[in-house]
Structure formats: structure tokens, C-alpha cells
Amino acid sequence: MTTERLETFADGVFAIAATLLILNVGLQGGGSIAHQLVNGWVAYAAYAVSFLTIGIMWVNHHAILEQLGRADRPFLLLNVCFLLCVAFMPFPTRVLADHLRGDGGRAAAVFYGLAMLVTAVFFNVIWQYGRRRLLREDADRRTVLAISRSFAPGVTLYLVATLVALVSAAASAALYAAIAVFYVSSGERFVR
Amino acid sequence: MTTERLETFADGVFAIAATLLILNVGLQGGGSIAHQLVNGWVAYAAYAVSFLTIGIMWVNHHAILEQLGRADRPFLLLNVCFLLCVAFMPFPTRVLADHLRGDGGRAAAVFYGLAMLVTAVFFNVIWQYGRRRLLREDADRRTVLAISRSFAPGVTLYLVATLVALVSAAASAALYAAIAVFYVSSGERFVR
Amino acid sequence: MTTERLETFADGVFAIAATLLILNVGLQGGGSIAHQLVNGWVAYAAYAVSFLTIGIMWVNHHAILEQLGRADRPFLLLNVCFLLCVAFMPFPTRVLADHLRGDGGRAAAVFYGLAMLVTAVFFNVIWQYGRRRLLREDADRRTVLAISRSFAPGVTLYLVATLVALVSAAASAALYAAIAVFYVSSGERFVR
Amino acid sequence: MTTERLETFADGVFAIAATLLILNVGLQGGGSIAHQLVNGWVAYAAYAVSFLTIGIMWVNHHAILEQLGRADRPFLLLNVCFLLCVAFMPFPTRVLADHLRGDGGRAAAVFYGLAMLVTAVFFNVIWQYGRRRLLREDADRRTVLAISRSFAPGVTLYLVATLVALVSAAASAALYAAIAVFYVSSGERFVR
């Protein structure tokens, strides 16, 4: 079984989940339209961070499948579970954007962090499974190592950010953004 | 006519229907954000079960098309009808998540079951039609048999769960989840 | 320029427009959940008719592109205009489902008919343009004629149904359903 | 790394962002259904202009990737940022359609213009990066020049229209429509 149709389905879920994020963005608060538009910056930032995060996962998922020669059924089902997490992201993003500055800020930030954490765990499971069973015969050892090294910190980073959310919603939100930027920039090492 | 463009369209509908499910998920009830987030577990479970169900149908649809060498127009139109059912799923899922614990629980559960039943019937029709008319010349007999054996119980299972819903919404909801898990685990037999 | 990427984009719009139709479907009226679910039959029917219509357009768009060897820029832009109409369909469908049985029934039915009419016109323009300029050298003359013959009545049928809508919303709604069923069944002639 | 999977993801985002625009369209104001349907013309026009704009960007993105032989990781990430802007478009479109005729018209029009401006900037960055680093060896010089010449005015045009929005919302809205039409017609020169 080739990975081609998995790619189509996965690309669909990535693209739709990322694009649906915009439905969470709306005018916020009262006052003039200009004021409401400026006031929406938290929602725009949440949109951007989640879109970037999904985008990076798409780029990395791409990198994984390139190293695999085929897919088997457990791999497809693991991917369905992973994509279930990806498609879930618009909900914690909406909760975080709506409540970051209010009473429920920490609860919203913890929820967002837990969602990212589970997603990162599934991502690593997919990679570990694929790396051990489905690697192409001509897969490049250095790229494989680079991918493993790049994915490893994700779980820890989101765990730390989630724990920070118990104390400060704003600090954890900054961390979520920083993790996205970190992956955008650091990733350039392993795919050239 | 090859099956390629059908795959693209079908993958699109599967991916979108699955991803749209998240629009049904929202904060529920009153109290603190943390409480509302915990309170939403029925909606998360309904999301997960329907996402997994769509995901499994996608994997199995994949398995069907792999055994077919081509598509003809009746097959395309049967697929449009099947995909009409798949794309309908967010609605019964929303109804079930919103009303499972309320007065209309049984009505919602019966409705969900009927939707799944019709979908399962169309799925079998597609497979029977494809198997008889469009099979690749080099299709693997054992895989074909395994697919037939795997798909057969779906209609019965959903029929039973729908009948159970007439008595208990919660019991039928548990059955819907169990059917999804059953297909996730049992399926591994026939594709290797 | 090949038609491949146009197909991906078009399949995306077809699949998304068809799948978004479900967002229009909701519980309607008061009373028990069971009653509201039964009461929603107009919305389900509108969903099914529009989904089938989009599905048939997808199958036929498929048939067109198979006869074309390439795409040029005007063809791409005509397709963008046509897909603009396809992606518009969820709106008239929602209006029709919500108002068919109320005071604004005829206005809603006329609006639905006009939307379908414009879509049918663009569909014919695409086919005429493609047939004259982009036909594959080895295109099958009989298939080309069959497609032309099959597409021709669409504009007239929707024009008649729209005029009927000025008098009776219910009659025109029945006609819209009948046109969809007509295309589902008649189409089998020209692709084999 | 080939550009194939980028195309799938990009086509997905283009198609979904364009199709989601319809969710912004609804009955507006009071009175009869017919009156509300006529009254919605601003929303239809905003839908059409944004759909066409996304459609043209899709056609042009297509033209870019055809000249490139491969993608590298920075290019993928630039594309993710660009697609983040494309997927954002339904929000300014909704704001403009809802407020063009009200008090916040100019704010809404400026916001729309800024969104388009940032999108146009990213589009040019993608093209400049691709043109310098990823050009196919057999890329056609004249097409490359034509693309560069065609994309250059976009940023200026949207900058002017945004400045006009500070004075008149209606005038800038007309300019946004004119820019879309300009690109629809002028583009035919460079792809033949």
C-alpha cells in the first residue's frame, strides 16, 4: 500500500482544520468597528499560532512520509487518531482566544496545552512506528536521525507550557507561540 | 475511467465531514470555564466516535478501490449517494451530543443509528457492485473475501444498536463507540 | 498546462460545497426532539437534492476534463467563475429549506432556480469553450456528442423550474428534485 | 523535494477558504424574503470579489509552481505564511460585507485592504524566493519575466485602495473589485 492516498486525506484534514480556524475569529467587545477590529488581536494571534502549528505539522508529516516506502493498516489508523487531534485544534484555539484575558484564562490555556500535548505524542508515535517498520530501503540515515532529534523535544515543550498554564495563562500562550516559531526556524536544519 | 478522481473527491468529503465535526463542539452548561470544559466530555466523545467512524470508512473505502481496476458511471453515482450519507454525519452527531443526556436522548440515539445504518447499507452496495463488475484482473481473492467478511456485520451491528437506542440512549451510544473500536482493531486482519 | 491541478482545486470546491450543506441542517420548530427531527425533512430533502446536484456536476465535470488534453488560462478563469457558482449553492439551499413552507416560499424558490440557472449556463460555457479549443486529439466523437446532448437541456429545465417557482414554490422544489434524479439516471448513457 | 504535496495542501486551502466565504452570506435586514434577498447584494458582491481574488491567486500560484523544479523547506514555510493570509480572507470579507454601508465602513474597508496588502506582499516574496533559488533549468525566461511584471503592481494597487478606504469605503470597495477584474483580464497575457 503506497502512502499516496494517506497524503491526500491528511493534506485535506490539515488544510481544512487550518482554514476552519478563521471561523473562530469575530468582532469582539463593543465600541466602534475600528476598536473591535483592534480588540480582536488575541483572536488573530491565536489563529496565527494554531495555523502555523498545523502548517509545521503538515511540513513535518510530509518529511516523515518521504522517508517511508509504504503504509500498512496500523499506520493508517494511527494517522486517523493523529488527524483526529489535528482536526480538534480549532476548539481549544477558540476557547483560548475567547477566554485568555478573562477569568477562565488558565483553564483555557491548560486545555490548549493538553490538546497540543496529546497531538505531539501521537506525532511521535507515528514517527516511531513508521521509522521501525515502514522505512524506505534507501532512506537517508542522517535525515532519519535529524527528524527524530527534531520531534523529540515537542512533547516536553508542550508539557512545560501546560504546567506553566496552571500559573499564568499569558505566559503559557507566549510559550505556545514561541514553540511554533522555534519549529518554524529550527526545522530548516533537517530538510535541505 | 480510472478511480483516481473519485478518490480525490471521496477523500475530500471524508476529510471535510470529519473536520467539520469540530464545529459541533462548544462550551456546555454554566459555571467556570474549567467546569464547562469538563462538562463537554459527551461532545468530545461524540466527536471522537464519529471521526473514528469516518476514518475507518475512509480506510476501508481505500481498501475497496485498491481492488478495483476502474470506475463506471453507476459506481460513481453510488459513491455520490454514499458520500451524501458520510457528509450528513455531522448532523446526527451534533444532535446526539446535544441531547444524549436530556429528554430526547433516545430519539437522538435512534436518529444517529438510522444514519449509520443507511451509510453502512450504501457501503455494502458499493462493495458488492464493485466486486462484481469492476474487480481488477489481478485482485487478490483472499483480500476480496476478507473485505466481504469484514463489511458484512456492519449493517447488523448498527441495526442492533439502533434497536437498543429505543430502550436506552446511553447503551446505544456505548455500542456506537464499541462498533468503531471493533472496526479499528479487527480491520488489521485483512490488509497486510 | 495540464488539467491536473484544476481537477484538484475543482474537486476541492465540489467536495467542500457539498459537505458544507450539512451546516444548514438543524433541528426545526418546537416540541420533542423526535418531532423536531421528523419536522426537519424539508432540510434533509434540500440537502440531498443539492448534494446530488453538486455530485452530478462533479461527475460531469470529470467527464468534460477527460475529453480535454490541456487547460489554458481563459479556461481556468471560466472554471473559477463556474466554481464560484457551485460554492454559492449552500446559501440558496439554506434559504429554500428555511422558507419553502412559509410566506417567502416563492421568493426562495425563484432565488434557488436563478442560482442553478446561472450555474448551468457557466457549465455549458465551459464545455463549449473546452470542446472547441482544448479537445484531445484522440477524443471520442460519440462521447463528445453525447456530452453536448446531455448538457443542453439543463439551462431550459432550470429556466422552466424557475418560472414555475413564480407560481408555486412546492411545484418548483419538486422540479429541482426531478432534474437531479433525471441527471442521475440519464447520465449513464454517455459514459461507458 | 517536489512541489506536488505543496500543491495539494495549497489547493486545499485555496478551495476551502473560497468555499467558506459562503458562510458569511445570509439574509439581511427585515421585510419580505424577496426584499432580504435583494438587500443581500453587498454580501454577494463581497463573496464574488473575494472568491475571484482567491481564484486568481490560485491560478497564479499554479503559474509560479510550474516554473519551479522543486521546493525547499523555507519555501514551504513561506507558503504556509502566505496560505495563513489566504485562509484569513473570509474574516475581512465578512466584516466588509456587514459594515460597508454603516458607520464602520471605512474601518472595515481599511482592514480588508490591509489584509489584501499583506497577502500580496507574501505572494511577491514567494515568487522572488522561488525565482531565485528554485527555478527549473528549462524555465521559460519570457514567462518568468511576464509573471514578475504581472505580480509587481499588486502591492501598489492594494496600498492605494487601502489609502482610498481612509476617505471612502465605497470607493475602495469598487477598487477592490476593479483589481480583481483587472487581474482576471490582464493575466491572460502571460499564460497562453
Predicted local confidence at residue A140, as pLDDT: 84
List CB contacts (< 8 A) between D73 and chain A: 59, 187-188, 191-192
Return per-residue pLDDT of chain B as tens, 192 residues: 667 778 877 888 999 999 999 998 988 778 899 999 998 999 999 999 999 999 889 888 988 888 898 888 889 889 989 999 999 999 999 999 999 988 899 999 999 999 999 999 999 999 999 999 999 888 888 888 888 888 888 999 999 999 999 999 999 999 999 999 888 777 554 444
- Which of A5, A16, A22 is the best residue to mutate to test the D interface, defined by the most D CB atoms within 10 Å of its own CB? A22
Is residue B148 within 8 Å of B79, Cβ to Cβ? no
C-alpha cell at position B192: 497486510
- Is C9 close to D58, i.e. CB distance below 8 A? yes
Q: For chain D, which residues make up each domain, given as ranges?
A: 4-189
Angstroms from A95 CA to nearest CA on chain B: 8
Q: HSE (CB half, 13 Å, CA atoms) of C87?
A: 32
- Is C18 close to B83, i.e. CB distance below 8 A? yes
State the Cα–Cα distance between residues D188 and D78, nearest whole angstrom. Answer: 26
State the Cα–Cα distance between residues C178 and C166, nearest whole angstrom. Answer: 18
Angstroms from A43 CA to nearest CA on chain B: 16
List CB contacts (< 8 A) between C17 and chain D: 19, 22
**Nearest by Cα to D116 from D46, D29, D22:** D46
Of D72, D91, D108, the CB nearest to A22: D91
Burial of D43 (0-12, 13-18, 19+ CB in 10 A): buried
**Average per-residue pLDDT in chain D?**
89
Angstroms from A48 CA to nearest CA on chain D: 7
Is residue C111 within 8 Å of C95, Cβ to Cβ? yes
Q: What is the ipTM of this complex?
A: 0.88
pLDDT at C174 over 60: yes
- Is D15 close to C20, i.e. CB distance below 8 A? no
Predicted local confidence at residue C47, as pLDDT: 96
pLDDT at C124 over 90: yes
Angstroms from B30 CA to nearest CA on chain C: 22
Of B83, B90, B104, the CB nearest to C33: B104
List CB contacts (< 8 A) between A84 and chain B: 18, 48, 51-52, 55
Q: Does B182 touch chain C (CB under 8 A)?
A: no
- Is A19 close to D23, i.e. CB distance below 8 A? no
CB burial readout A67-83, b (16+ within 10 A) else e = bbeebbbbbbbbbbbbb
Helix axes B73-88, C4-20, angle to 10 degrees: 40
Q: Does A41 touch chain B (CB under 8 A)?
A: no
What one-letter code names the amino acid at A62? H
CA B189 to chain centre: 19
State the Cα–Cα distance between residues C1 and D29, nearest whole angstrom. Answer: 46
Q: HSE (CB half, 13 Å, CA atoms) of A132?
A: 7
With H, G, I as helix, E, B as strand and everything else as coil, classify residue B114: helix
**Nearest by Cα to A68 from A9, A8, A127:** A127
The tens digit of pLDDT for each residue in B14-55 reads 999 999 999 989 887 788 999 999 989 999 999 999 999 998
Of C11, C37, C184, the CB nearest to B8: C11
Angstroms from B42 CA to nearest CA on chain A: 14
Alpha-carbon distance values, D56 to A163, C183, D107 (Å): 45, 31, 25
Residue A101 CB neighbour total at 10 angstroms: 14
Q: Does C98 touch chain B (CB under 8 A)?
A: no
C189 pLDDT band (50/70/90 cuts)? very low
Of A8, A25, A59, the CB nearest to D73: A59
- Is A83 close to B18, i.e. CB distance below 8 A? yes
Is residue C32 within 8 Å of B104, Cβ to Cβ? yes
Predicted local confidence at residue A187, as pLDDT: 56
Of A76, A107, A111, the CB nearest to B32: A107
Predicted local confidence at residue B95, as pLDDT: 95
Of B13, B23, B107, the CB nearest to C37: B107
Which helix H or strand E contains B98, and what residues bound it?
helix B90-99
Is residue D33 within 8 Å of D106, Cβ to Cβ? no
Of all residues in chain A, the percent with pLDDT exceeding 70 is 95
Angstroms from A150 CA to nearest CA on chain B: 27
The tens digit of pLDDT for each residue in D50-95 reads 999 998 898 889 888 888 988 888 898 899 899 999 999 999 999 9
Angstroms from A50 CA to nearest CA on chain D: 10
Residue A151 CB neighbour total at 10 angstroms: 20
Q: Flag residues of chain A having pLDDT under 70.
A: 1-2, 187-192
What one-letter code names the amino acid at A45? A
Predicted local confidence at residue D142, as pLDDT: 87
List CB contacts (< 8 A) between A133 and chain B: none
State the Cα–Cα distance between residues A119 and A157, nearest whole angstrom. Answer: 12
List CB contacts (< 8 A) between B48 and chain A: 84
Angstroms from B150 CA to nearest CA on chain A: 14
Angstroms from C29 CA to nearest CA on chain B: 14
Q: Does D129 touch chain A (CB under 8 A)?
A: no
Q: Does B56 touch chain A (CB under 8 A)?
A: yes
- Which of D7, D19, D192 is the best residue to mutate to test the C interface, defined by the most C CB atoms within 10 Å of its own CB? D19
Angstroms from C167 CA to nearest CA on chain B: 31
- Is B51 close to A76, i.e. CB distance below 8 A? no
Supply φ then ψ for residue D28, to 5 degrees.
Answer: -125, 140
Torsion from C-alpha of D47, D48, D50, D51, nearest 10 degrees: 100
Q: Which stretch, B58-72, C11-25, C61-75, D178-192, has highest mean pLDDT?
A: C11-25
pLDDT at C110 over 50: yes
- Which of D7, D88, D100, D112 is the best residue to mutate to test the A interface, defined by the most A CB atoms within 10 Å of its own CB? D88
**Nearest by Cα to A81 from A155, A172, A8, A13:** A13
C-alpha cell at position D52: 475571484
Grid cell 440537502 — which residue?
Answer: C47
List CB contacts (< 8 A) between D188 and chain C: 73-74, 77
Which helix H or strand E contains A142, and what residues bound it?
helix A141-165
List CB contacts (< 8 A) between B66 and chain A: 1
Q: Flag residues of chain D having pLDDT under 70.
A: 1-2, 187-192
- Is D11 close to C8, i.e. CB distance below 8 A? yes
Grid cell 475530500 — which residue?
Answer: B12
List CB contacts (< 8 A) between B107 and chain C: 32-34, 37
Of A72, A87, A111, the CB nearest to B19: A87
Of C8, C32, C48, the CB nearest to B104: C32
Q: Does D61 touch chain A (CB under 8 A)?
A: no
**Nearest by Cα to A62 from C136, D41, D79:** D79
Is residue D58 within 8 Å of D14, Cβ to Cβ? yes
Which chain A residue shows the shortest CA-CA distance from D106? A34
Which chain C residue shows the shortest CA-CA distance from B107? C34
- Is C25 close to B91, i.e. CB distance below 8 A? yes
- DSSP states along A53-79: HHHHHHHHHHHHHHHBS---HHHHHHH
- pTM passes above 0.95: no
